[in-house]
Amino acid sequence: MNVKQVCGAVALCGVWVGAASAQTSSVTLYGSIDQYLNYMKSSSGASIKSLQDGAIMRSRLGFRGVEDLGDGLQAKFTLETGLSADTGASAETSRFFDRQAWVGLSSNDLGEFRLGRQNTAVFTRGGNVDFTARTLGSIVNNFGVPARLDNDIAYISPKFAGFQVEAHYATAESTLGTGSQAVYQFAVDYTAGDFKANYAGVRAKAPKGAAVSKTIGYDNLNANYDYGSGKVYAAFVRSNNVSTTSATAFGNLLGGTGTLVSGASTTAADAARYYNIWQISGDYRVSPSLRVGALYGKIVDTSDSQRGAKGGAIGAYYDLSKRTSVYAMLESMQNEANAGFRAFGSAALSPNFTGTDVYGRRISGTQVGVLHKF
């Protein structure tokens, strides 16, 4: 073999190795920028005009990696940070990868195991809840959703006969024992043609010795049907995950972004007060680019202490391209005399109404925005 042939063989090997590496391992940079103009008015007379972040998708930057280990086994990771694109600030100042930070192994036959900070099973199924994908305009979203947890161990099964199951266990990593402040999750999905149904539930414990030790729960059961030109949705939520002691508006006993049930700020009345949330919605695709939808929902305070609410929304989404869309939303919600629910998007609105502008008030809003995904 002469020099020319040797060089050719070396070059060919280099191309083959590069191609093999490209096939077996990849890292993807992804993200979204979601900005909208917001106008809201309370029946108290107060109003807000603002530029907001995250009506549909919180602005974010993420890294997603996959490595093929052979025999149907893959290593995976996701690192994702949220940001407020209207100011350039991080979504959370205490951590960089506030949205997700996990590593896992996936098998075609056995399913997927993940370790780290992850979205909850309830959060990841938001697209099944209503035409907004449980974001701005959704009454279920206004009630509040446990979104993600630290120190989370998760298992996602393969699909079988239309079913798929998911289970999580997260702990506070304290010296009080592995069960103290633990959060358990379970979900099951069923798909049959154009029909989908799923259940996702969360159970969160207070630390040992807490004055109020009642388990905090969140159960979401929903279904949707694709009728060809759009979908119809029905959702039911039952939860005692609401704190009514805030001077500004209702909060969550199990924090939406990782704060566990402390017990210290939990009152016995709050922990024993369950809410039932009913919601129906539907959308219609006017054209391949334009989709419109509407919903109505009701938050029922089963303790009859006038802490419920009801409301609805209509919205439109227009795709300018595969990556860019514009949207408009009109929504209104009436709080009962002692209720303090407010509008939320994928990200919390800031500023938002507080105190007497919330409790017992009707809050209405109009928003127009643009979402770009990359």
> Is the bond into 351 cis (omega within 30 degrees of 0)?
yes
pLDDT at 246: 80
- Check residue 204 and give its pLDDT: 95
Q: Take residue 360 and report the two structure tokens written for it.
A: 């017992």
Give which of 155, 123, 157, 154 is closest to 140, Cα–Cα. Answer: 123
The one-letter amino acid at 189: D
At 202-234, the pLDDT tens digits run 999 988 888 888 999 999 999 999 999 999 999
pLDDT digit string, tens, across residues 71-122: 999 999 999 999 999 999 999 988 999 999 999 999 999 999 999 999 999 9
Q: Is 332 exposed, middle or buried (0-12, 13-18, 19+ CB in 10 A)?
A: middle
Q: Any idea which fold 28-34+59-317 has? A: Porin (2.40.160)
Task: Name the residue type at position 106.
Answer: S
pTM, full prediction: 0.90
pLDDT at position 175, please? Answer: 65
- pLDDT, mean of residues 352-371: 97
d(CA 362, CA 44): 8
Question: Which residues, in sequence order, are CB contacts of 284 under 8 Å at separation 6+?
Answer: 229, 230, 291, 292, 293
Q: In the chain, how long is the greatest CA-to-CA distance?
A: 91
pLDDT digits (tens, 9 = 90+) for 229-262: 999 999 999 999 999 988 889 999 998 888 888 8
Q: Is the pLDDT of residue 369 over 80?
A: yes
